[in-house]
Amino acid sequence: MKLEGKVALVTGSGRGIGREIALKLASEGANVVVNDLDAGPAEETVAAIQAMGRKAIACTGSVTEKGFAERFVNTAVEQLGGLDIIVNNAGYTWDNVIHKMTDEQWHAIMDVHVTAPFQILRAASEYLRVQTKKEAMEGREVFRKVVNISSIAGTGGNAGQANYSAGKAAIIGLTKAMSKEWGRYKVNVNCVAFGLIKTRLTEAAAGSDASIDVEGRKIKVGVNPDLLKTMEATVPIGRAGTPTEAAGSVYLFCIPESNYVSGQVLVCGGGFSM
């Protein structure tokens, strides 16, 4: 129970990687504020955490909506009694080559992958500053954790993903800046860049019209099976990663053993990196 009594915020934790991150942190003792666009998946994750004997509360809605960041942080502080871990995980892809990409596509992806994490960290700053000052006066050194999620598209770029690659590169920059700004508050700020992970966004979908609904937008998802096989063949381990394995990499940055690690980017890609 390395995270006993800690309070964690995890965006996009009703499904996929985010859900596994929330469950992993809870399995090690953390209480979690769960977020998802939809109430159903969020409540399912909440129930799974509560079944472990931990506390969990759903805070539904888009991370990009006005006032969400403050509502999210306040849920942790007011209902779970504190804030120790922030995982900025929520996101999706909306791909196109640049000459066909609209301003709406560009801004939607930048908003969810960069602006929303920035707003959440800004909303948490007052609580962190006050708590750190109080703990210092008591002679205590308490470390808190921020883990931002990037991608190998952000470390090396990817054709057809100018918006996503730019957003995921920007979150790395935000990570490095905040590790310097918040070091004095004993907040470790790190980043995990995922490679090929099996989620509903990357499932094989030959001839499929599979899509997700994001705030009224129908976003096509899925990867051609032949292309998926080719992608997996480039991974030294020989396959795509699982959401559970992805969550494990985030967990490494949340435990006390990483208290002197900050401003770093860990590629979780089975040995593949751009």
Active site residue ranges: 164
Alpha carbon 79 to chain centroid distance? 22
Instruction: Give the integer Cα–Cα distance in Å for 52 and 70.
Output: 28
Q: Three-state SS string across 45-67, please?
A: HHHHHHHCCCCEEECCCCCCCCC
In sequence order, the 6+-apart residues with CB closer than 8 A to the CB of 144 are 83, 84, 85, 128, 185, 186, 187, 188
Dist. CA 84–CA 76, nearest whole Å: 9
Q: Alpha-carbon torsion 91, 240, 267, 273, what sign?
A: negative
- From first CA to last CA, the distance across the chain in angstroms is 35
